[in-house]
Amino acid sequence: MEYTPFIILLILLLNSYSTHSQKAPIAPTQPPSSSPTPSSPSTLDPKQVRALQSLDFPTKKDPCSNLPKAIRCDNSKPFRNVISLHLINCSDGVSLSSTALKSLSTLRDLQFINCPVSLVSFPSELVSNLKSFTSINSMKKLNGVWLSHLENVTDLIVTDVPIKASGPVIITAHLKKANKIVMSHTNLTGELPGKSWSTNISHIDLSNNLLKGDIPTSFTDLENLVSLDLSSNKLTGELPTSIGDLIELKNLSLSSNSFSGPIPKSLDSIPSLAFLDLSSNQFNGSIPKFLGEMKSLKYLNLEKNNFQGVMPFSASFIKKLEVFKIGDNINLCYNHTTISSKIKLGIAKCDKNGFPITPAPKSDAEDEEDEDDSSSEDSTSPKSGGSHGPNKVVLGVAIALSSIVFLIIFLICLSKKCT
């Protein structure tokens, strides 16, 4: 008991000593602090060291203790094993060999980032252990059959690599343990699979591909889905009513497709929806009022569609959102008795029958930036120069008023000087 402060002091001293000795440039011998402990960690398996060398990985110092981010090792004896390896910014000469991969079969997490190696088949022991596979702008090209072999992964992330496959189902149907599947910017063709997904799947990102067809009704059985990004594909059709069954959904992005029809009423049964992007489609009908009552919503983008009628949102709802976009809906308008024209919406005012009065001003990309700036009328914004009559009148009045004010001030000034 009475030794505790002493021990703490000793630990502090040792700590400061070891950090200092690491920084000291001239330290040819091992710092003594690491040798006296009998349980000093073992070193990396020599066969894995050679494999890492063949991948151009620096191995001068013990890789397990010197590259905390790019590599992680377990603590097994007599030798440690690599369990996580990130190959980043590889030089062009690097190549994957079956021997190297066989030696590295203990890997659970393997990432290639900007690493243009050629594809080789993975040894079965590696395939069995691998839980997470990432290829970002790496491996020149991938194919569906190769990816479908990675049956034990929970996380598959492929971006900026072309994937050759007749459809995502070839891959998704085999990854029965997947929690997260990202295949984005891969030029993937085919249709969105309905059934066949891992029941545990929580994140799907198939954005920026060439997928066609609609969202199958059976897709909405994925009750653990938290995030769905299908943006920038060639998807069509109406959203299935059963989309409301995705009750865990927080993030839904369907932008830049050719979806049509109305926003399904069932969306209001998704309690934690925070991010909803339906922009750049052909959705139509009126915008349902319930969207403006969704408590969790932070990002709402409905711009560039064919919505019509009176926009149902209150000013306080719009203020509460981090991002709100609704411009470029030619048949949509806002009620100017309830919404100030200071809020730039990129849509026209309604007449008393609920139809747009003037042609809608063009929406700017930076709408949400200057939501509450002090420019007097949205009609003075430079973007709306297309519509003539009312603009010129407002401008004329403004100029006239300010010159009168100026003149008065000038006159007062003059009269004071004269006396």
Ligand X SMILES: *[C@@H]1O[C@H](CO)[C@@H](O)[C@H](O)[C@H]1NC(C)=O
Is residue 151 within the footprint of ligand X (CB under 6 A)? yes
In terms of Cα–Cα distance, which of 93, 45, 88, 95 is closest to 67? Answer: 88
Of residues 67, 94, 127, 343, which one binds ligand X by CB under 6 A? 127
Q: Which is nearer to ligand X, 30 or 337 (CB)?
A: 337
- Report the alpha-carbon distance of residue 48 to residue 33 in Å, rounded: 27
Tell me which stretch binds ligand X (CB under 6 A): 10-18, 39-47, 333-341, 397-405: 333-341
Of residues 16, 121, 187, 376, which one binds ligand X by CB under 6 A? 187
Compute how many residues bind ligand X; rule: CB under 6 A: 33
- When CB distances to ligand X are compared, the closest residue is 128
Shortest Å distance, C-beta 392 to ligand X: 27
Rg (CA), the chain: 31
Is residue 260 within the footprint of ligand X (CB under 6 A)? yes
Residues 20-59 binding ligand X (CB under 6 A) are none
Is residue 172 within the footprint of ligand X (CB under 6 A)? no
Is residue 126 within the footprint of ligand X (CB under 6 A)? no
Is residue 251 within the footprint of ligand X (CB under 6 A)? yes
Is residue 259 within the footprint of ligand X (CB under 6 A)? no
Q: Going residue by residue from 310 to 329, which x/- string records binding to ligand X, judged by CB under 6 A?
A: x-------------------
Of residues 253, 257, 279, 384, which one binds ligand X by CB under 6 A? 253
- Report the alpha-carbon distance of residue 331 to residue 335 in Å, rounded: 13
Of residues 335, 340, 376, 403, which one binds ligand X by CB under 6 A? 335
Is residue 101 within the footprint of ligand X (CB under 6 A)? no
* Long-range Cβ contact pairs of 379-386 (< 8 A, separation 24 or more): 379/341, 381/344, 386/359, 386/361, 386/362
In terms of Cα–Cα distance, which of 362, 331, 364, 336 is closest to 349? Answer: 336
Number of other residues whose CB lies within 10 A of the CB of residue 37: 8
Tell me which stretch binds ligand X (CB under 6 A): 289-297, 311-319, 348-356, 398-406: 348-356
Q: Which is nearer to ligand X, 165 or 274 (CB)?
A: 274
Is residue 285 within the footprint of ligand X (CB under 6 A)? yes
- List residues binding ligand X (CB under 6 A): 88-89, 114, 127-128, 151-152, 160-162, 177, 185-187, 199-200, 227, 229, 251, 253, 260-261, 274-275, 284-285, 310, 335, 337-338, 350, 352, 354
